[in-house]
Chains A and B, each alone.
Chain A
C-alpha cells in the first residue's frame, strides 16, 4: 500500500506475513492447483449466418411461362400476359437474368409489344422480341436492363419488375391463309422465361450465365424451334349421338381460317345434328380427339382441342359407341366433307362382332371382318381408315391381316411428337433448371462491406 508520500512502505511484519502466505500458496500448487490458478477469457457467441438469394416469380419457382393461345378466332384480339420477377423479401440484392427462347419462326408473323412498368420498350415482331430476350448468346438479358440501367435488383416487391407482353395478329395476315394455318398449328404456344439470380456482392460486374462467362450457372440450351411444321387438318369427324341420325339432316360449317381466301384445310368445324350429340371424335393427323358435347345438338371441334384418345389408328371406321354419323372425305377444292355416312357401332373400336375394322389382329376368322356386316362395308369406302383396303384382310390368310395393323399404326406415331404444341417448349420444368444461386464471384474481389 502506498502511504502519503507515494513511496511504498512495508513494515517487516507485513512483509513476513507476505512471505509466509506465499509459502502456503506454494504448497497448494504442489497439490495440483493448476486447475484453478488460471485465468480465462472467452470470446463467446460469435456467429456467422449466411445470407440468401431467392428468386420470386409469379407462383412458379424458377421458370415462368407465358402462354398464348391463338384460338379459333383470336387473331383480331390482343392477347396479353404479365410476368413479374423479383427477389424474395429475405433475399439479398442480386443480378437477375432472364432468358426467353426463340419460338417457331412462324411467330415472327405476329406482332408483339413489351411494356415494363407502363413504358413501352419494344414493338415489333414477336420473334424479334424473343430474340432480344434470348440475348445474342442465349444468356438472356439483365432484368433491369430490359427497361433501365441494369442495376442489381433490390429484394422484395419494390424491386420486382413486371413485364407485360401483348401479342396480336397484324391485319396483313388476313391475306395470308397459309401463315394463319401454320400459326394455328403452333397454337397454343408457350414462351418460357428462365430466370437466374446471382448475388451482387463480390460480383461488381454481372456475369452472363453462358459458358465461359459464368462458372456458377449457365442457362440450359434452348430447344431448337420446331420450324414451320404444318399442323394436321381435320380428316374426318365422327358425331356420336344418343340415337340414330339421318346423315342428310346433319349440317356443318368450317369455321376457319378466319381469313379470306380459299379454305384448303379445315381446322375447326361446327356441326349441328337433329338429335342430341354425346360426343364427337375428330381425326387430325394420326391422332383422334374426343370432344364432349353433353347432349347439345351443336358442337365445334378442332384439330388441336379435345382429349386425345389412345386408340388404334383404325378406329376411325367406327369411332363411336353406338349410333352416330361420320363426316368424311374432306374435299380441298370445295372445302367440304364429301361423304356423310351413318354409323352404327357396337363399341368404340369394337373388335368382336364384326364391327371391327380390318386387322383386329386375327381374333376372328379372317373372312369376317372383310366380308363385314352390310352397313359396315357399305359405309366404309375403301380407304376409309386410310390404309389397307378392306379386301386385303378379308381375303388374306390370317398372317396377312396381321400385317395390316402394324402398318397402319405405323403411320401415326411419328407425327405424334409434332402434334401437341404444349409439349414443344416444355412446360415448367424446375428440375433441370437452376434458379437462384449464390455463386462465386470470380475471385475474392475487392472487399466491399457495403451491404453487410
Chain B
C-alpha cells in the first residue's frame, strides 16, 4: 500500500517556497522547533516531502535471522535488543524507502516454502528524524493464491481457485516497547506490551488494518515518536502445526505501510477512521 500525496514534491516546494534554502542543519531546526506548527517540516531533508520517517527491520524465520536492514549500511546486523536498534538509529542507519535517497529494500520477508509449525518475526524500528511524528500503520494482505491444487489439497476437498493460507497464518502485532521503555525491540512480547490490534489470522489482521490506524506507542503519555528517537513494532506470524492440507502450495502477499504525520494530525492518511 502506498500513500499517494496529492501534491508532488515539486509542487510542495513551490507552495512553501524557499524551504530548501533553509536546509541549514539541526541548529536551525532546533531554533524553529519550539513552534509545533513548524515541527512537521523536516528542513534538514530538503529532498523530502515532509516529516521524515525512517525504518529499520530484521526478519527472523524459525529462529534464524534472514533479512535485516543494516545490510544497506554495511553495519553489524541488527539484533534483538534495544541497544542494537538505538545504536543503528543514532548512527543514521535507519533507511528511507520512499525519498530520492531511498533504498530498494525489496520484500522484507519472503517465505517460499512455509511448513506447518513455521514461525517468523518481523521487527520494525520506526525513527522520526528531526521532528516528532505520529506514525500510522496500514496493512494490506492480498493475492491469496491457490497456485496449483496438489493432490493432498484435493483430497482435503479444496477445489476452488482461491488460496486458504491467509486463514491459517496467525498474526500477532504489538508495540515492542519493553517495560517502561527498557528492553524493547527484542521480539519477545512482555506482558506489559500492548497489542496494536487483536491478534488473528493474517486475513483478519489485514482486514482490520487495511484502512490504517494511528500507532500509540504510549510512552509517557506520548503517542508520538519524538524526533531523533525510534520505536519498535513487532509482527509475529505462525503457521499452525495442525492446519489441514488445504494450504499446501498456497501463497499470500502482504504490504506493511507506515505514514508519518504531525503528532496532532487527525486525518488518517490511509483513508480509514482516525
Question: Which residues of chain A have a CB within 8 Å of any CB of chain B?
Answer: 1-2, 8, 10, 14, 17-18, 21-22, 24-26, 28-29, 32, 34-55, 61-62, 88, 90, 92, 199, 201-203, 215-216, 430, 434-449, 451-452
Instruction: Please count the residue pairs between chain A and chain B whose beta carbons lie under 8 angstroms apart in the complex.
Output: 284
B interface size (C-beta, 8 A): 98
Could you tell me the distance between the alpha carbons of A38 and B50 in the complex, rounded to whole angstroms?
A: 5
Q: Is the CB of A48 within 8 A of B254?
A: yes
Q: Is the CB of B251 within 8 A of A29?
A: no
Partner among A36, A41, A49, A448 whose Cβ is within 8 Å of the Cβ of B49: A36
B253: interface (CB < 8 Å)? yes
A-facing residues in B1-54 (Cβ within 8 Å): 1-3, 5-7, 12, 15-19, 21-22, 24-25, 27-28, 32, 37-38, 40-42, 48-54
Q: Is the CB of B261 within 8 A of A449?
A: no
Contacts of B252 in A (CB 8 A): 47-49
Contacts of A215 in B (CB 8 A): 242
Given contacts A8-B25, A43-B57, A43-B257, contact A438 B115 (CB under 8 A): yes
Given contacts A36-B50, A39-B50, contact A46 B251 (CB under 8 A): no
Given contacts A22-B32, A40-B257, A201-B115, contact A29 B2 (CB under 8 A): no
Given contacts A32-B267, A449-B61, contact A42 B12 (CB under 8 A): no
B215: interface (CB < 8 Å)? no
Contacts of B253 in A (CB 8 A): 45-47
Q: Is the CB of A40 within 8 A of B19?
A: no
Query: Contact string, B136-152, partner A, CB cutoff 8 A, digits 1/0?
Result: 00000001000110111
Could you tell me the distance between the alpha carbons of A34 and B51 in the complex, rounded to whole angstroms?
A: 11
Nearest chain A CB to B196 CB, angstrom units = 15
Contacts of B21 in A (CB 8 A): 14, 17-18, 21
B112: interface (CB < 8 Å)? yes
Q: Is the CB of A26 within 8 A of B37?
A: yes
Nearest chain A CB to B189 CB, angstrom units = 15
- B145's nearest neighbour on chain A, judged by CB, is A49
Q: Is the CB of B115 within 8 A of A25?
A: no
Q: Is the CB of B115 within 8 A of A92?
A: yes
Q: Is the CB of A437 within 8 A of B245?
A: yes
Q: Is the CB of B248 within 8 A of A49?
A: no
Q: Is the CB of B116 within 8 A of A440?
A: yes
A-facing residues in B50-92 (Cβ within 8 Å): 50-55, 57, 61-64, 66
Q: Is the CB of A52 within 8 A of B248?
A: yes
Given contacts A36-B5, A48-B252, contact A41 B62 (CB under 8 A): no
Could you tell me the distance between the alpha carbons of A35 and B258 in the complex, rounded to whole angstroms?
A: 14
Partner among B61, B152, B256 whose Cβ is within 8 Å of the Cβ of A54: B152
Could you tell me the distance between the alpha carbons of A17 and B6 in the complex, rounded to whole angstroms?
A: 27
Partner among B40, B96, B114 whose Cβ is within 8 Å of the Cβ of A37: B40
Q: Is the CB of A34 within 8 A of B267?
A: yes
Nearest chain B CB to A270 CB, angstrom units = 46
Nearest chain B CB to A61 CB, angstrom units = 6
Q: Is the CB of A41 within 8 A of B98?
A: yes
- A438's nearest neighbour on chain B, judged by CB, is B116
Q: Is the CB of B251 within 8 A of A444?
A: no
Q: Is the CB of B250 within 8 A of A50?
A: yes
Contacts of B5 in A (CB 8 A): 35-36, 38
Could you tell me the distance between the alpha carbons of A90 and B267 in the complex, rounded to whole angstroms?
A: 48
Q: Is the CB of B258 within 8 A of A21?
A: no
Partner among A34, A55, A88 whose Cβ is within 8 Å of the Cβ of B262: A34
Q: Is the CB of A40 within 8 A of B259?
A: yes
Q: Is the CB of B112 within 8 A of A49?
A: yes
Could you tell me the distance between the alpha carbons of A45 and B240 in the complex, rounded to whole angstroms?
A: 23
A-facing residues in B137-170 (Cβ within 8 Å): 143, 147-148, 150-152, 155, 165, 169
Nearest chain A CB to B34 CB, angstrom units = 12
Nearest chain A CB to B133 CB, angstrom units = 8
Q: Is the CB of A434 within 8 A of B155?
A: yes
Q: Is the CB of B61 within 8 A of A452?
A: yes
B192: interface (CB < 8 Å)? no
Q: Is the CB of A41 within 8 A of B257?
A: yes
Contacts of B147 in A (CB 8 A): 49
Q: Is the CB of A50 within 8 A of B248?
A: yes
Q: Is the CB of B63 within 8 A of A447?
A: yes
Q: Is the CB of B241 within 8 A of A43?
A: no
Given contacts A34-B267, A441-B117, contact A1 B53 (CB under 8 A): no
10 smallest CB-CB distances across A and B, nearest first, come from A447-B63, A440-B241, A202-B117, A49-B251, A449-B64, A51-B113, A440-B242, A40-B3, A52-B248, A447-B62
The stretch from B100-108, B172-180, B216-224 touching chain A is: B100-108
Partner among A32, A38, A55, A435 whose Cβ is within 8 Å of the Cβ of B51: A38
Could you tell me the distance between the alpha carbons of A25 and B248 in the complex, rounded to whole angstroms?
A: 54
Could you tell me the distance between the alpha carbons of A48 and B259 in the complex, rounded to whole angstroms?
A: 24
Could you tell me the distance between the alpha carbons of A309 and B206 in the complex, rounded to whole angstroms?
A: 63
Given contacts A438-B116, A441-B117, A452-B62, contact A45 B106 (CB under 8 A): yes
